[in-house]
Structure 1
């Protein structure tokens, strides 16, 4: 796996690059600005680019990483993207998943995850495989039902049982059915039955049960989950 790291803090950038190299990950280059990052992508054709959300040297630093992600996806659609944010928000995840239809190969993780390189490299491998990765901390925040949400008949999640909501939250983190079953200590068939019910309740039903359609349904379910959580934050 060939990686380009975009991070404007010199010490953190050097530490991240060293940690990746120690784990056997090929770091093709590192950058602190959009222009340098794009030049490195042009030169090295990486598998994945990790992007700090905030880059101090950019004209609009607050979400510069998302704008770079958009430019990379437009020019190099096969390059996976992993954004690292100090405080990841639902809006950040939505912008990433809006880069193309259907969304794929993008991730949003908290920067404090850099303290667990196994977690970060797992996220990188998953986005390289085309999966959607959302920081588990963000999903856990959205998992907690709020009175306003429960009272809203327009909320698609209101139709789900607590167990179904829990399974959907794990889908939103990018876990496979098997991984969800292992995490919940239940049978794989139990997860599959619950997911079928969830998809029906969310209106994500199709006669085409191919692998790509199944992946798309999981992504669409994730979007519904995140958007419902975003509405509750407003």
Structure 2
């Protein structure tokens, strides 16, 4: 199996070095490390990595430069998945990043890196075209309610399943998290697809659309 090729964009030298070591030890290939957001898009264009891991706040502006570069990568280089890391939960950031396509994208708080297995799983998941949203981000979104919220049609358990789906878990992963059987999860997934009007698309596309429904309802 070909090793995943990863670009790291972070101006924190120790964190960048630590990420590179972590990824290399996991059998991935770090093809570049950049410390300024204005290098992200050119390096992606030149190297075509499988995944670009980008910090939100980077030089040269020190605001959301890394996020904006990640959005450009998603638009102009769809073959490269994007995983954005942030020190803080700014609600508009994941919404701006994901836009209308929750495939091959992740948004995690940097505190999650300490859970090495989960972090590496998130990298592999977005590389495979899935999504990986931080549980804290998802919890904030699920907690929101509007009068026309389509999620109101879901049972509490179906909302739990959708939240874990948004984090990027498979049905088996959701079953383990909720301590239920995979068959029970499949039943809940089928139910929430039906209630959200997602009937004709392939299964994976419906999962992505369901996640987008969650985000838009926020």
- When normalised by structure 2's length, the TM-score is 0.89
Aligned pairs for 1:121-136 (under 5 A) are 121-136=120-135
User: Aligned to 1:190, which of 184, 187, 196?
Assistant: 184
Quick check: 1:88–1:109 contact (8 Å CA) kept in 2?
Answer: no
How much does 1:165 deviate? 1.1
Q: Which residue of 2 aligns with 1:68?
A: 69
How much does 1:103 deviate? 3.5
Task: Find the aligned partners of 1:75 and 1:202 in 2 and give their Cα distance.
Answer: 31
Quick check: 2:102–2:211 contact (8 Å CA) kept in 1?
Answer: no
Aligned to 2:73, the other structure's residue is in SS state helix
Aligned pairs for 1:31-110 (under 5 A) are 31-55=34-58, 57-59=59-61, 61-98=62-99, 102-110=101-109
Quick check: 2:151–2:159 contact (8 Å CA) kept in 1?
Answer: yes
Aligned to 1:123, the other structure's residue is in SS state helix
Task: Find the aligned partners of 1:168 and 1:89 in 2 and give their Cα distance.
Answer: 21
How much does 1:3 deviate? 0.7
Quick check: 1:30–1:37 contact (8 Å CA) kept in 2?
Answer: no
Aligned pairs for 1:218-229 (under 5 A) are 218-228=207-217
Aligned pairs for 1:119-158 (under 5 A) are 119-144=118-143, 149=145, 152-158=146-152
- When normalised by structure 1's length, the TM-score is 0.83
Task: Find the aligned partners of 1:173 and 1:124 in 2 and give their Cα distance.
Answer: 12
Aligned to 1:62, the other structure's residue is in SS state coil
CA 1:170 to 1:34, structure 2 compared with 1: closer, same or farther past 3 Å? same
Task: Find the aligned partners of 2:45 and 2:212 in 1 and give their Cα distance.
Answer: 31
Q: Which residue of 1 aligns with 2:115?
A: 116
Larger radius of gyration: 1
Q: Which residue of 1 aligns with 2:33?
A: 30
Task: Find the aligned partners of 1:191 and 1:90 in 2 and give their Cα distance.
Answer: 28
Aligned to 2:79, the other structure's residue is in SS state coil
How much does 1:102 deviate? 4.1
Matched, 1:15 2:15: no
Q: How many residue pairs get matched? A: 215
How much does 1:30 deviate? 0.4
Matched, 1:214 2:203: yes
Per mean C-alpha deviation after superposition, the further-off stretch among 121-130 and 25-34 is 25-34
Quick check: 2:11–2:34 contact (8 Å CA) kept in 1?
Answer: yes
How much does 1:128 deviate? 0.6
Stretches of structure 2 that go unaligned for 5 or more consecutive residues are none
Quick check: 1:5–1:30 contact (8 Å CA) kept in 2?
Answer: yes
